[in-house]
Amino acid sequence: MNIFGGCKTSAMGILPHRDIDKALDMALSLDIPFWPQLPHVSYYEDMYVQFSEHFPGIIIDEEEQRVSFNTGLFYEELPGYLEKSEDPETFNLSDKYAQVFHRFLQRDLSAYTAIKGQVIGPVSFGLRTSDENLKPMIFNDDARLLLFEFTREKLNNQYRLLRKYNPNPVVFFDEPGLEFIFNSMSGYTGDMAKKDLAGLLQGVDGLKGIHLCGNPDWDFLLNADIDVLSFDAYRRGEVIVRYESLRRFIADGKILEWGIVPTQIEILEEETEDSIINRLEGLWDYLVAKGVDKETIVQNARVSPATCNLVGPRSEEAVEKAYAMLRSISARLKKKYSL
């Protein structure tokens, strides 16, 4: 597992760029590159829209930029979908829905330690996508069951395709919705999510990764059947390091991707490489004081931007500055720890 760690750089998902080649160059400047989602290029590059391709009952409104679920259409389209689901091509990302993904595959990916892909997680998609009565589709039992099966096939299909270009792909669930399922307002309970996600993870090919920027039930995630956790260490680090389950996660040799470099320009301008490194090593030192081996921490660590930045002030400039700082911080950590 430590070939994926060693304070290597990586990132996730969305970039604010309109220039595809520029975005790809930036993603490919990392140790473990990813294919970026660029919703400013096309609405179909939005991660929710991309995921929805071929799912029955989905309506995409480009003008209003909204993805919705229609119950009647779902049951009308379901037989045709079930027939097509035997064909792996059903779960491919088409050029219309993911031109950046296909441009990524045209680059030389063979020399990287690993490459990264992603799908929006089923909890997030199901909570955000509402039906004709403005009810989240995850509350429709038939749709929810299919949603988790659909996610597994989308993820495994992407994994198999990426493996043709690099021997070590990792495909992540991007699950911002996990922050909300443990509050009283959700209606989709944590116990339901645990059961649904456990079943899904059992059928996932390759290493299993989850990314989120929020503040979920960390015990739930850290005890799940995953190999890599990518999180916002800049804002959430002081919370997560207090969990005993995190210490077990590290001791088991699993990978933590510490999102330590902020991408908002107003925060970046207040930080330096030294202040970011001190912040990260302060989190590591807390774990060491609790009995976690320092070498294990750094060997099984990756570093990344803390969050995406799609619409913030000077967003492209901010993200590019964050990536440059990230690469420099990684180089300093590798040198310091002889990685």
Residues in the chain where the model's pLDDT stays below 70? 1-2, 182-187
Q: pLDDT tens digit string along 271-330?
A: 999 999 999 999 999 999 999 999 999 999 999 999 988 888 899 999 999 999 999 999
Name the fold adopted by 2-336. Answer: TIM Barrel (3.20.20)
pLDDT for res 186: 60
pLDDT for res 192: 83
For residue 326, the 8-state DSSP code is: H
**169: three-class secondary structure by DSSP:** strand
pLDDT for res 1: 58
Q: Is the pTM of this model over 0.85?
A: yes
pLDDT for res 3: 77
Q: Assign 3-class secondary structure to 39-79.
A: CCCCHHHCHHHHHHCCCCCEEEECCCCEEEECHHHHHHHHH
Domain ranges of the chain: 2-336
pLDDT for res 195: 87
d(CA 168, CA 194): 27
